[in-house]
Structure 1
Amino acid sequence: MRFSTLFTALAVVATGVTATEFSSSSITSALSLTAANCYGAPIPPWETGHYPGWYYGQGTPPSGVLCLVNQLLCELLELLPLCLQCPKPPPTPPPHTPPPSPEYTQPFYNQTCATQDNNYLTYGLVDTVADCQAMCDTVATCTFVNTYHDVNGKDGSTQLTCALFSKCLTAASNDNCGEQSQPDGSVDYITNSDGYCKKTPTA
């Protein structure tokens, strides 16, 4: 754990927070959010055993899922440029400026199956489509987002699954229709599956 100790010392100097705030477990969790690990979600959402790598929203994330609005986590991730970064709010446009043209087009909407493709980058949970697009804007090579409700338990969830891909896709890639047995005896299903293609891939 010598690396963790050294990193904590550097983090204290860089951010001014106390050493106890960057624990070994928080550093280990942050270091799991790299492209090599699909930013914490190495198993894509259409395969058995998948689990979201992150949550970006104002609600309560599932146990063990890192919340990308946590200020301390975001400060830690800023010190790790190869890791997933917390989205930044868009700058306020100057007054009397015409609104920019939309960055995303929508090749499909309201499908009952989700996207499945080898260009998968990562997936997590969000509250809104705009939150998912903000996540795409932080992930290198992200070009396409698929948002949907994966109804995977008797109580359901209002959060959207947000899957990111490196190339634009169409409804022809929507092969993930759920139908996986859940621990509570239910079978999951997909609703409100929408796709959004980004005009310019994230640099």
Structure 2
Amino acid sequence: MRFATFFSTLVVAATGVAATASFSSASVALAGGFTEKNCYGAPIPPWKTGHHPGWYYGKGSAPQGISCILDSLFCELLNLFPHGYHCPSPPPSTPPHSPPPPPPYTQVKDFYNLGCAAQDDSYLTYGLVDTVDDCYDMCDSVSGCAFFNTYHDVYGKNGSPQLTCALFSKCLTASCADNCGGQSQPDGSIDYISESSGYCKAHY
């Protein structure tokens, strides 16, 4: 019996969760380490040398070099860890004839379409998304997230098709947007930041 199947059997026995797929030992190790302790795969913040996105959440093609792709299969595996990270869930449907709920996040004044991104000690994690709404969903799914910053970190010949999504535990202002890129890339280019915007949780 492969380790992955054995592990899944143990998890099912311990949690009562039905496993519908068998996972490789590498996937199991990746899911088991995808925790708050290691900033969900991104322990080095995006403004420091050696940083790397911890995850990708979206419906497009996954970027090269990203280990944690939060698709349905990997999310199913994460769900086998009852005290670990769980992927975003679809929002509950609004009953007919009910007013829509107030927006849970508000855009921070003057923190819109900047050429610099936020950096702050309240950093939680960062990854890549397709849309601002995807980043909103990620903030909702990470414990303690109160603010998210989306931006394009433009580097290399292919630019930056995905948005960077950085999450923080406290609401920040535009004065915290002082990560303006300028880091040398392996191909000799210099990265820069564009379309940086910040959103704060309304009931923080």
Q: Same fold (TM over 0.5)?
A: yes
Structure 1, 77-86 or 163-172: larger mean CA deviation: 77-86
Contact 2:124/2:167 (<8 A) preserved: yes
Contact 2:156/2:189 (<8 A) preserved: yes
* Alpha-carbon separation, structure 1, partners of 2:73 and 2:5: 17
Gap change, CA 1:196 and 1:50, over 3 Å in 2: same
**1:198 alignment partner in structure 2:** 201
SS in 1 for 2:179: coil
Match of 2:67 among 47, 65, 68: 65
Q: CA offset at residue 22 of structure 1?
A: 1.4
Map Cα deviations across residues 167-197 of structure 1 (whole Å, 9 max, x no partner). Answer: 0000111110000001111100000000000
Match of 1:160 among 125, 143, 163: 163
Q: CA offset at residue 8 of structure 1?
A: 2.3
* Alpha-carbon separation, structure 1, partners of 2:129 and 2:105: 17
**1:23 alignment partner in structure 2:** 24
Contact 2:53/2:66 (<8 A) preserved: no
Contact 1:114/1:174 (<8 A) preserved: yes
**1:98 alignment partner in structure 2:** 99
Percentage of matched positions with identical amino acids = 62
Contact 1:15/1:75 (<8 A) preserved: no
**1:10 alignment partner in structure 2:** 10
* Alpha-carbon separation, structure 1, partners of 2:123 and 2:198: 14
**2:173 alignment partner in structure 1:** 170
Instruction: Please give the root-mean-square deviation of Cα atoms over the aligned residues, in Å.
Output: 1.8
Q: CA offset at residue 5 of structure 1?
A: 6.6
1:10-159 correspondence runs (5 A): 10-11=10-11, 14-18=17-21, 21-61=22-62, 62-68=64-70, 70-107=71-108, 108-159=111-162
- The runs of 4+ residues in structure 1 deviating greater than 3 Å are 3-6
Contact 2:4/2:23 (<8 A) preserved: no
* Alpha-carbon separation, structure 1, partners of 2:39 and 2:153: 20
Q: CA offset at residue 6 of structure 1?
A: 5.1
SS in 2 for 1:192: strand
Map Cα deviations across residues 63-84 of structure 1 (whole Å, 9 max, x no partner). Answer: 243111x222111111213332
Map Cα deviations across residues 21-68 of structure 1 (whole Å, 9 max, x no partner). Answer: 211100111122100000110000001111111110011222243111
For structure 1, the 5+ residue unaligned runs are none
Contact 1:152/1:189 (<8 A) preserved: yes
Q: CA offset at residue 125 of structure 1?
A: 0.4
For structure 2, the 5+ residue unaligned runs are none
Q: CA offset at residue 145 of structure 1?
A: 0.1
Contact 2:115/2:193 (<8 A) preserved: yes
* Alpha-carbon separation, structure 1, partners of 2:139 and 2:125: 10
